[in-house]
Amino acid sequence: MISCDRLFSLFEKTNLKFFVGVPDSCFAPLVNYLLLTDKFKHIIATNEGEALAIAAGYHLSTGEIPVLYLQNDGLCNMMNPITSLTDENVYEIPFLMLISWRGAPGMKDAPQHQRIGKILVDLLNLLKIQYFVYDGNNEKLESEMEKIVTKIKKGKKPFAILFRKGDIENYPIKFEDQAELKREEAIRIIVDNFENDIFIATTGKISRELFEYREERKKSHKNDFLNVGAMGYTNAIGFGIALNTNKKIFVLDGDGALLMHMGNLATIGYYQPKNFYHIILNNFSHDSTGGQPTVANKTDFCGVAKAVGYKYTATVKNKEELQRELDHIRNLEGPVMLVVNVKRGARKNLGRPTIPLKELKKDFMKNLIG
Ligand SMILES: Cc1ncc(C[n+]2csc(CCOP(=O)(O)OP(=O)(O)O)c2C)c(N)n1
């Protein structure tokens, strides 16, 4: 394990001053450190492809080496700019990646991390990206760091350092929250209001809370599709379903997930699915990975949705407003967007789905198609 102080003193020594990325729980301490210091420039991007493009802009305007932090799932979001912008056949732009290795061999992790965990090293080899696996030996990392940065600079090539969960020592931060409602409370109210409709839930704790609520009430999961991976695509899955059923589709989205692929909104607005109800549980943060802020506090989701063709939008801040809006949208045609402002945080004992995902899919499809 390495402390943030030690890690960042290495970055300072090697003159790495610019950080951009998308949070992952493994890097929560690193992001907290960056949020609390003004020694380094830091941008939290909406997706990893964007992060790399920002990093490329940094290099083009300074000649310096940018540092990217990302979960290995995010490497897939970066694939296009890696092969067609920064690659040696194109602009040969150097950068350092800090990658959290979810699903690493020998480590227990959720199903959505299994494939990428297994192929990460092969993927880096295919991309001709050299890497160093941090193995807990801080002296080794310290002695390698200088060489790594020299290699990046000389070869004008990317390099990756791989970390696993627990490798970086906790660096606590206290985030301020003004919201009244807990996310789980909001989910319960919404589900209770639309018991027989279809729910498509986004990556992270939103899916987990929906699953546990059905379990607690001894209800089946046949109305729910839990998009446990593929962050940012939940609303698109919901739209694809809405095209082929008369049932009402409720998408439970997060602000981080919505921002990750916000172009999806324009597709939904254009095609006007009448049975599409888009609920954004907005805690202005990536709560599932530790509460790091998103850019949602300066984004008017309702304004964007309206501008691309959503028929009705509203924002609610408490139980009473939520109930009033749920009663109102009950008889409205979609696409509808309801932004529900919620607090960061979740129950400590929140579990993960205990039923195999393929079984959940089977029940969901049987219920939907017959
Ligand atoms: C491509 C990709 N990048 C990063 C992650 C890590 N990740 C999982 S959940 C999450 C935060 C989601 O935030 P939001 O949608 O706002 O929901 P919240 O957790 O706040 O309820 C992140 C960043 C991921 N799963 N996939």
pLDDT in tens, 76-119: 999 999 999 999 999 999 999 999 999 999 999 999 999 999 99
Q: Assess whether 16 and 159 both reside in one domain.
A: yes
Which pLDDT belongs to residue 267?
98
Q: What is the predicted pLDDT for the residue at 177?
A: 87
CB distance 73 to ligand 1 below 6 Å: yes
Asked if the structure places residue 175 within a domain, the reply is no
Residue 156 in tokens: 């004008």
Q: Are residues 126 and 190 in the same domain?
A: no
Q: Is 113 in the pocket of ligand 1 (CB under 6 A)?
A: no
C-alpha span between 2 and 4 (Å, rounded): 7
46 located within any domain: yes
Q: Are residues 105 and 208 in the same domain?
A: no
pLDDT of residue 68: 98
Counting the structural domains of the chain, the total is 2
- Any idea what DSSP says for residue 161? E
Q: Which domain holds residue 15?
A: 4-163
Helices marked H in the chain: 4-13, 28-36, 48-62, 72-84, 114-126, 138-155, 183-193, 205-216, 234-242, 255-260, 264-271, 301-307, 319-329, 357-369
19 within a domain of the structure (yes/no) = yes
Residues 334 and 232 in one domain: yes
Same domain, 201 and 122: no
Atom 25 (ligand 1): residue with closest C-alpha?
A: 231
- What distance in angstroms lies between residue 254's CA and the mean position of ligand 1's atoms? 8
Answer yes or no: do 51 and 157 share one domain.
Answer: yes
Q: Which pLDDT belongs to residue 169? A: 98
| Nearest-10 Cα torsion for 364, 239, 290, 140 | 90
Q: What is the CATH number of the domain that holds 146?
A: 3.40.50.970
What is the mean pLDDT, run by run of 10 residues, along the chain of 370 residues? 98 98 97 97 98 98 98 98 98 98 95 97 97 97 96 95 97 92 98 97 98 97 98 98 98 98 98 98 97 97 98 98 98 98 96 97 97
Q: What percent of the chain has pLDDT over 90?
A: 99
Residues 33 and 110 in one domain: yes
pLDDT in tens, 236-278: 999 999 999 999 999 999 999 999 999 999 999 999 999 999 9
Q: What is the pLDDT of residue 212?
A: 98
Is any atom of ligand 1 closer than 6 Å to the C-beta of 226? no
